[in-house]
């Protein structure tokens, strides 16, 4: 087995921990980062290299084998990867300041689709397979259009806020971008390959911790308080609707102490996660969706509005808060920053290096 095949197999097997602290493995990743169409051509031209292969996959192997024999391989790769104009997004001519302003035009954050955010399955299950009269289907055009628009707008908001946050990392002098967009690697910090995850403080994790702190689930707690104050709710409604209804009714009737208890408990849970991030990081690895599973090194940027959890989505565009925190984090980044995480997924054991940056309002 060649060295290229060895690291290719490790990568495909999700044994990404093997790529840490190994110069040959790191070379494999950085070669992969330049082996995309125009980027590869630019890299070869810049370094007066010529390949015999014509197919990208074969060129990847050939380039790795050539660079594995050169002492300056890492230097020339890093030099290329540090040139920001080599990233494909830059060719789009994005005006970042205008983009930041446009993000404030989004006034609500709602997914079109079902609870799994799957628009196509939602449309099929709600309209395609249950409505047999064409006129009835036509009457739903506005409703369907709203669903589609919500999905597109929220996806657009997530895409470009994530792009801007990732750009904050890539501009830092310690960061080298994986310009070819390798799966599982967005950039390198101090030669650690990193996948950046920008997300909200996870609802399920919060629910689990609320149950421990309140002695019962959030819904049960609200129902018990509702019963105490003579407030009812439709028990057949989805849990989220029941929670929202009870919260609104309790607030309307002046029982703000109940809402304060919940908000204070949420704030306590967030502070505990900040003080001991390994528990939350492990949870995030172990509760990935199966289709998007990865065991790569990760930095999680977790956003939360501790006073109004439902408004945390607005934190993704709060760059006046995000930028100085990311800058300070990267300034202080060293070989002791990342935590070694051991976790299980589908009865398999994995290890990775990871950390979390909290952006909390």
First-to-last CA distance in the chain? 52
What lies within 8 Å, CB to CB, of 123 at 6+ separation is 113, 144, 147
pLDDT of residue 89: 63
Helices vs. strands in the chain: H and E counts, helices first: 15, 6
Q: Would you give per-residue pLDDT tens digits along the chain (361 residues)? A: 789 999 999 999 888 899 999 999 999 999 998 888 778 888 999 999 999 988 988 999 999 999 999 999 999 999 998 876 656 566 667 888 999 999 999 998 987 665 455 788 888 888 999 999 999 999 999 999 998 898 899 999 999 999 999 999 998 999 998 876 678 899 999 999 999 999 999 999 999 999 999 999 999 999 999 999 999 889 888 888 899 999 999 999 999 999 999 999 999 999 999 999 999 999 999 999 888 889 999 999 999 998 888 899 999 999 999 999 999 999 999 999 999 999 999 999 999 999 999 999 8
pLDDT of residue 90: 65
Contact 18, 54 (CB under 8 A): no
Contact 300, 281 (CB under 8 A): yes
Q: Residue 205, class by beta-carbon neighbours within 10 Å (0-12 exposed, 13-18 middle, 19+ buried)? A: middle
Contact 302, 21 (CB under 8 A): no
């Amino acid at each position: 087995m060649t060295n290229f095949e060895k690291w290719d197999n490790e990568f495909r097997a999700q044994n990404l921990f093997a790529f840490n602290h190994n110069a040959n493995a790191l070379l494999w990743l950085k070669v992969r980062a330049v082996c995309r169409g125009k980027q590869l051509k630019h890299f070869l031209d810049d370094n007066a290299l010529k390949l015999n292969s014509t197919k990208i996959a074969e060129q990847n192997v050939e380039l790795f084998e050539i660079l594995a024999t050169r002492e300056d391989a890492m230097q020339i790769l890093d030099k290329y990867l540090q040139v920001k104009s080599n990233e494909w997004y830059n060719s789009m001519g994005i005006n970042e300041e205008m983009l930041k302003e446009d993000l404030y035009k989004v006034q609500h954050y709602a997914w079109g689709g079902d609870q799994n955010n799957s628009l196509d399955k939602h449309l099929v299950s709600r309209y395609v397979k249950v409505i047999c009269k064409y006129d009835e289907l036509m009457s739903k055009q506005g409703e369907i259009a709203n669903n589609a628009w919500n999905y597109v707008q929220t996806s657009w908001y997530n895409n470009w806020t994530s792009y801007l946050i990732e750009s904050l990392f890539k501009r830092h002098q310690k960061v080298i971008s994986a310009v070819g967009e390798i799966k599982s690697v967005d950039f390198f910090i101090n030669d650690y390959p990193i996948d950046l995850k920008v997300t909200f403080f996870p609802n399920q994790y919060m629910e689990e911790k609320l149950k421990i702190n309140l002695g019962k689930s959030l819904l049960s707690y609200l129902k018990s308080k509702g019963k105490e104050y003579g407030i009812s709710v439709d028990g057949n409604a989805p849990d989220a609707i029941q929670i929202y209804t009870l919260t609104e009714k309790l607030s309307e009737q002046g029982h703000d102490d109940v809402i304060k208890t919940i908000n204070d408990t949420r704030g306590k849970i967030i502070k505990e996660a900040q003080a001991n991030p390994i528990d939350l990081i492990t949870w995030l690895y172990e509760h990935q969706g199966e289709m998007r599973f990865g065991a790569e090194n990760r930095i999680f940027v977790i956003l939360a509005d501790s006073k109004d959890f439902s408004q945390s989505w607005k934190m993704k565009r709060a760059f006046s808060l995000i930028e100085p925190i990311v800058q300070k984090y990267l300034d202080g980044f060293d070989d002791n920053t990342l935590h070694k995480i051991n976790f299980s997924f589908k009865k398999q054991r994995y290890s990775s290096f990871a950390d979390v940056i909290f952006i909390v309002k």
